[in-house]
Amino acid sequence: MEYYESALATYIEGLKCDPNNLVVIDGLRRCAACINRSNGGDVGPDDLEDILFLEVRVLHMRFSVTDVDCSPWPTYNLTGNVSSDNDLRHKLQKLMEEAAALKKEASDERLRRIESERMARTSEDLYLNQVQQRREAEECLSKIEQEFQQLKVRQDEVSEEFQKATEHNENLQHQLTETIRALESMRGNATSASSSSSGSVLDENHIPSYFICPISQDVMNDPHIAADGFTYEGDFIRSWFSTGSDTSPMTNLPLEHDELIPNIALRSAIQEWLQQQNVAA
């Protein structure tokens, strides 16, 4: 045992002169292994080699460096009694603990890095998913806006058609009212003519105004209803359209079409009125 301790001290002195000498380092490794076996240690050869190399690195960091004449390499002022078996075992144990701490720190750092990378990938996936959802929402919103505009245009068209239909219905109602008024007037004239003993012929002032064509100012024989709701003599309103006019002779507003509807009720009323005039004459 004393032999190994003496050899260990010699190798350490040699380490002072040349800390990078492989022969010295190998001798330190063999001495440490022999001392460990003699004391019943359970540290393996590979562990001892790692410990010794780590010991050299720690010595570089821990001990002050001074230049000596024996070598251009830096020397180390070692503290403590390294020849002592207990000191050696204590040093080896301490180096092992430091190595384990460094290994744990490196492992923790690697785990932190892996966790950071995982969180970064998760955040990136979440961001890409949000971007995709936002793009889909914008596309859906754009489609809804287009459909809304189409519905609005269609609603305007329906409203316009309804307005036209309402105006046309009002014109028809007006024409029907005139026809009813004409029939009532004819009935009254007939009653007056039958009760009159003079048998005089009614003058022109007794002609109902709705019997007269707005264009010719004569009593109509073939009344037709135009798009403006007024009734005209068929031949005169057709001549009006044939000249290229597309407006109402009464309102001077544009007509939607040039189609004509025969006013059968008014024509019957006019014919009946004419017959009564002939009888009265």
Domains in the chain (CATH in brackets) are 2-83 (no CATH), 163-280 (3.30.40.10)
- What pLDDT, on the 0 to 100 scale, is given for residue 93? 75
- What pLDDT, on the 0 to 100 scale, is given for residue 235? 92
pTM over 0.85, yes/no: no
Instruction: Judge whether residue 211 has pLDDT over 50.
Output: yes
In angstroms, the CA 41 to CA 145 distance is 83
Q: What's the pLDDT tens digit per position in 168-200?
A: 777 777 777 777 777 776 666 656 655 554 444
Q: Is 218 helix (H, G, I), strand (E, B) or coil?
A: coil
- What pLDDT, on the 0 to 100 scale, is given for residue 224? 92
Chain centroid to CA 144: how far?
11
Q: What's the pLDDT tens digit per position in 146-167?
A: 999 999 899 999 888 888 888 8
Q: Tell which wins on pLDDT, 16 or 174.
A: 174
Q: How much is the average pLDDT of 36-64?
A: 50
Instruction: Judge whether residue 3 has pLDDT over 90.
Output: no
- What pLDDT, on the 0 to 100 scale, is given for residue 63? 42
Tokens 């001549």, located at residue: 239
